[in-house]
Structure 1
Amino acid sequence: MSRRSPWAALLAVHLIALAALVAWLALQSRPVQMHDLQLADGEKLKCVSYAPYHFPGQTPFDKDLRITREQIAADLAALSHITRCVRLYSVDQGLDQVPSVAREIGLKVLLGAWIGYDRKKNAAELDHAISIANEYPDVVRALIVGNEVLLRRERSEDEMRALIRDAKSKSQVPVTYADVWEFWMRHDSLAREVDFVTVHILPFWEDEPVDIQHALQHVAAIHEEVQTHFGKPILIGETGWPSEGRQREASRPSPANQARYIREFVHQAHDRGWDYNLIEAIDQPWKRRLEGTVGGYWGMLDADLKPKFPLAGPVADRTSMQLPLLGAALGAALAAAVALARRGAGGRLRVAACASIGAVGGMLAVLNWEHGRVAYRDELEWILLGGLTALAATLAVLVSAWDGVMLPGARSAWRDLRHGWAPTPARLLALARGTLVFAAAVAALLLFVDARYRDFPTLLYLTPALIFGTLAALGRGAARAERICAAIIVLCGIGRWLPEPANPQAIAWLATTLALGLPLMLARGEHQQGE
């Protein structure tokens, strides 16, 4: 077994990682030039989807929730600065007050009736929506009977036809049905029942995701195809782009891409005379439970009703590098101080290596905190994932206090601690390695089997990958259980990358899984480890 000093390798690996992270942050901070959206005097967006669930704890799944008229009035007042119309998906939970408030503010409404599995609830919802539409015909532009019901397979085509016919026989306003464009093409006979066809065209969510450079070409092509096929007025009922979340092949959520898509789409729509509704008015944090991080960030306004991007001028994905750089500086200083206080073999090289580890660990701790603010959905995720983030961040301190001896296996370290042995840095590092490698194996497996709405946890496991991967490559050994977890990490990392080999996020995750898993998987076990 090689007993080479690890400090030179750790220094080199972490300096490379630090340079890569700084370059990535600089790229994110670079303003992106794009088309300015210059609307004529008095011209606004034609319509935006409105859901009021943007305050903490608000969700349409809360049957007892009723949105107050005051909140609706505040929301619509903010939206009136950017749009002339809002689209609703339901008239439940206080949303039946929207047409009344909209009349006072001067907005129009696309009124939706939510159709799902429950036939009794569907009937009550539709009857209520029809009565509201008939009460406010000067406000309600149209009644939308159901949203993506066929896509969700909650009702059949014949059942939707019956509901639409019933609504048309009672409604004083035009009636339509909304679904993704592919399902309209599959169920095109429904077009005979509606006054106009409402299609959803979402380049990001296509089965073959479309990148931002070709997104508007895709929308134009689909609009022309649908228009030609049906020969009826077309409303693009949903289109937009997310600002946060997981990249799907070449489709990358980001503030700059969202701004670019909205600006270019609105310019093209107004130029071509398209009728449209943007998704959506306000970020919806509750949607993260259904669609992951990306689901919560399609809004023109954030959850505090502040505009997320300007309609003119360049836009950057990151407004400042200050916090990550501060985290790096503090991490480097803390790790170097611990290394100096724990004088041991390695001298200045050891101190420099520990400082570089601290810099990377501090920067990643800040980046993981930033990600948690947009991605973590509840206290449990903050406890579990936040705990793993904190554990990864402490690795720099543990390594700085470590004297370079062979690490035991996690089980051996735990047994020693239970028997009253001293909690040496080596034993604590071994426990941390076992915990983080097991957690990474679980994360890699979940991402492999169910990837659609899961973020790539690259930033969370990069620190363990750099430290433990380097030590294993230098012959520091690994216990059998850790080698099994490492094999899962490697296989699942490769398996997740293969379906989207050009996705930079998938590539970064592949590199992280290989850096962590491959050296551990190939490492020799040690008798001292007790495995």
Structure 2
Amino acid sequence: MRIQITLFLSVLLFTITACKDVVKKDQSVKEIPKMTAKEILSNPEYLAISYGGYRDTTRSVQPSLVQIKNDMKILAAMNIKILRTYNMQLPQATNVVKAIDQLKKEQPGFEMYVMLGAWIDCKNAWTGLEPDHHIESEQNAAEIDRAVALAAQYPDIIKIIAVGNEAMVKWATSYYVQPNVILKWVNYLQDLKKQDKLPADLWITSSDNFASWGGGEDLYHVPALNKLIKAVDYISMHTYPMHDTHYNPVFWGTAEKDSLLNKEQKIENAMKRSLGYAQNQYSRVKNYMKSVGVDKPVHIGETGWATYSSGLYGDDGSHAADQYKSGRYYQLMREWTTKNKISCFYFEAFNEKWKDAANPKGSENHFGLFNIDGEAKYAVWDLVDQGVFNGLTRNGNKITKSFNGSKKKLLEYVKLPPVKQNFKGYE
């Protein structure tokens, strides 16, 4: 009898211990709450980024699911929780969603969401024929259908659909459309929500230049834009001070009164003015929105700063593009947007060399926080130091710091912004 009692107590003790271990294990897995776009975009803990993931000089070479999953792990380590894609014609966006879905099943607690882009064109865009900016492309309907199907299939991942990317801004001469085209498709998607064909908490927007949202010239202030502002769930605006170091350099350059400052101080002043320039464009969009009787969130759908340029922003131009200035812009932008609960889909996660395939040194190829092989640029050196990327790779490479982590070596390649009085185009 004593042997039986002892055996019973041993089994009972083992069972209790095992149950405790299971409870501890379950408690160690982060329980993911059901998040809506509204909650994600107003949450400073949920950082946003733009993602392509292409490694080659052509998008005909699509990133594999394994490559995308490796990228997702890198972004998750940075506390990125929502990323933006751009079109549905190619497999990339669908594969991004599939990769996230697989990671959620493989790694309990993995959390990532998507702002899904549907590309919108005018008639004859990219055909060699004269674009007709008053008639939309016949391809748009199929693009919207693809976005709807994917959003309906993965409601736990896709939280936003953006109708068009810089599709209304007039300098997009190859493909831009009038605001009424974007309005048509935004209303269509909003109606699908009312019909329960899309989740009611799925947010619909369009991601466009600040001028397109009323923050620029009067020619954009048309009735269709005002209706669009009322139709979207929030405004997704773009701001690019880096481009305006050439096109509108009122904030750029080094003032003679700063001649006694050292190199870093002069650059810091220039970068703070750059941030102020972006903040001004943000305020102009908000002010226009309110002028038409609307008060809803405004988030930044795109902003970024290239780290290299052989053209307008490089050594023969405004001296804007380098890793140090880009890093400071990233840090200043994150500080401002996080503090004010503004989501900022920073452009972009990784370099993509297809964007200007004929010119490898072109600025469009160098907007990433990482290069193609996963080398971390100055903007995120601190995260490498913190060890957040330990065990992670890109293209088989460990995540290391550019310039071997030497700020001194980096600064040797950095040029001061031109003296204002000597800079062509400065007023």
TM-score tier (shorter) = 0.5 to 0.7
The answer as to 2:96 corresponding to 1:102 is no
| Distance of 2:421 and 2:409 partners within structure 1 | 25
| Distance of 1:256 and 1:320 partners within structure 2 | 7
Residue 238 of structure 2 is aligned with which of 177, 184, 200?
Answer: 200
Work out whether residues 255 and 317 of structure 1, in 8 Å CA contact, stay in contact via their aligned partners in 2: no
The answer as to 2:213 corresponding to 1:184 is yes
2:83 alignment counterpart = 86
Q: What's the offset of the Cα at 1:311?
A: 4.9
Residue 117 of structure 2 is aligned with which of 95, 100, 112?
Answer: 112
SS in 1 for 2:168: helix
Aligned-pair Cα RMSD in Å: 3.1
2:322 alignment counterpart = 254
| Distance of 1:293 and 1:318 partners within structure 2 | 23
Work out whether residues 247 and 253 of structure 1, in 8 Å CA contact, stay in contact via their aligned partners in 2: no
Q: Summarize the Cα distance change of 1:247–1:316 in structure 2 as closer, same or farther, 3 Å threshold.
A: farther
| Distance of 2:168 and 2:357 partners within structure 1 | 22
| Distance of 2:68 and 2:231 partners within structure 1 | 32
Alignment of 1:384-423 (within 5 A): none
| Distance of 1:46 and 1:290 partners within structure 2 | 33
Residue 279 of structure 2 is aligned with which of 220, 223, 227?
Answer: 220
Work out whether residues 67 and 94 of structure 1, in 8 Å CA contact, stay in contact via their aligned partners in 2: no
For CA contacts below 8 A with separation 6 or more, give which structure has more relative contact order: 2
Alignment of 1:421-500 (within 5 A): none
CA offset digits 1:337-382 (Å, max 9, x no partner) = xxxxxxxxxxxxxxxxxxxxxxxxxxxxxx9xxxxxxxxxxxxxxx
SS in 2 for 1:80: helix
Give the letter aligned to residue 157 of structure 2: V
1:414 alignment counterpart = none
2:292 alignment counterpart = none
| Distance of 2:409 and 2:238 partners within structure 1 | 30
> Structure 1 or 2: larger helix share?
1
1:158 alignment counterpart = 180
> Structure 1 or 2: larger strand share?
2
| Distance of 2:76 and 2:298 partners within structure 1 | 24
| Distance of 2:141 and 2:327 partners within structure 1 | 39
SS in 2 for 1:195: coil
Residue 68 of structure 1 is aligned with which of 64, 67, 72?
Answer: 64
**5+ unaligned residues in a row in structure 2: which ranges?**
1-42, 105-109, 124-136, 193-197, 215-219, 253-270, 290-294, 386-404
Q: What's the offset of the Cα at 1:174?
A: 0.9
Which of 125-134 and 281-290 deviates more?
281-290
Which of 91-100 and 242-251 deviates more?
242-251
SS in 1 for 2:300: strand
SS in 1 for 2:364: helix
SS in 2 for 1:47: strand
| Distance of 1:174 and 1:43 partners within structure 2 | 18
- Scaled by the length of structure 1, what TM-score is found? 0.49
Q: What's the offset of the Cα at 1:502?
A: 1.6
**5+ unaligned residues in a row in structure 1: which ranges?**
1-41, 322-366, 368-496, 507-531
SS in 1 for 2:377: coil
Q: Summarize the Cα distance change of 1:261–1:68 in structure 2 as closer, same or farther, 3 Å threshold.
A: same
- Scaled by the length of structure 2, what TM-score is found? 0.60
Give the letter aligned to residue 190 of structure 2: K
Alignment of 1:320-331 (within 5 A): none
Report the count of equivalent residues: 284
Q: Summarize the Cα distance change of 1:262–1:284 in structure 2 as closer, same or farther, 3 Å threshold.
A: same
| Distance of 1:319 and 1:50 partners within structure 2 | 26
Residue 297 of structure 2 is aligned with which of 215, 218, 233?
Answer: 233
SS in 1 for 2:115: strand
Structure index of larger Rg: 1
| Distance of 2:209 and 2:409 partners within structure 1 | 32
